[in-house]
Structure 1
Amino acid sequence: MTIRRLALAACLLVGFVAPAAAHPHVWVTARSELVYGADGRLSAVRHAWTFDDMFSSYATQGLDVNGDGKFTREELAPLAETNVTSLKEFKFFTFGKYRDKRVVFSEPTDYWLEQVDGLLILHFTLPVKDGAPDKGEAFKVEVYDPTYFVEFQFAKDESAAKLVSAPPGCAVELDRPKAPDATQSKKLSESFFSGLSPGSNFGAQFSNTLFVACK
Structure 2
Amino acid sequence: MKLSKRSLPALAVVTALTLPSTALAHPHIFAEARLEVETTENGLISELRHVWRFDEVFSSSVMLDFDRNGDFVLDNSELAGISEVVTDSLSDFDYYTSLTIDGADGAISLPEPIKVSFQDGQLLMFFAVLPKEPVPLDGTIAVGVYDPTMYAAIEFMTDDQMVVTGASAGKCQSQVVRPDPDEVIAQNQGSLTEAFFSDPTGNDISKLFATRLELVCK
State TM-score, norm by structure 2: 0.74
Mapping 1:108-127, distance limit 5 Å: 108-109=111-112, 111-127=114-130
Q: Secondary structure at the match of 1:31?
A: strand
The alpha-carbon distance between structure 1 residues 204 and 21, as it changes in their structure 2 partners (threshold 3 A), is closer
What residue ranges of structure 1 are gaps of 5+ in the alignment? 10-19, 184-190
Q: Secondary structure at the match of 1:44?
A: strand
How far did residue 128 of structure 1 move?
1.2
Q: Is 1:211 matched with 2:214? A: yes
The alpha-carbon distance between structure 1 residues 48 and 54, as it changes in their structure 2 partners (threshold 3 A), is same
How far did residue 178 of structure 1 move?
3.8
Q: Which amino acid aligns with 1:154?
A: F
CA contact (8 A) 1:146 1:203 kept: yes
CA distance in 2, matches of 1:33, 1:175: 15
CA contact (8 A) 1:109 1:127 kept: no
Tell me what 1:162 maps to.
163
What residue ranges of structure 2 are gaps of 5+ in the alignment? 1-7, 17-22, 186-194
The alpha-carbon distance between structure 1 residues 65 and 34, as it changes in their structure 2 partners (threshold 3 A), is same
Q: Which amino acid aligns with 1:114?
A: S
CA contact (8 A) 2:174 2:214 kept: yes
CA contact (8 A) 1:6 1:58 kept: yes
Tell me what 2:152 maps to.
150
CA contact (8 A) 2:196 2:203 kept: no
Tell me what 2:139 maps to.
137
Q: Which amino acid aligns with 1:87?
A: L
How far did residue 195 of structure 1 move?
5.2
Return the match for 1:79 from 74, 77, 82. Answer: 82
Q: Secondary structure at the match of 2:136?
A: coil
Deviation readout 1:145-193 (Å, 9 max, x if unpaired): 22211112113262x1112214133343211244679x9xxxxxxx974
Name the count of aligned residue pairs: 197
Q: Which amino acid aligns with 1:174?
A: V
CA distance in 2, matches of 1:138, 1:195: 30
Q: Secondary structure at the match of 1:126?
A: strand
Q: Which amino acid aligns with 1:101?
A: A
CA distance in 2, matches of 1:195, 1:44: 31
CA contact (8 A) 1:7 1:26 kept: no
Tell me what 2:202 maps to.
199
CA contact (8 A) 1:32 1:47 kept: yes
CA distance in 2, matches of 1:166, 1:199: 39
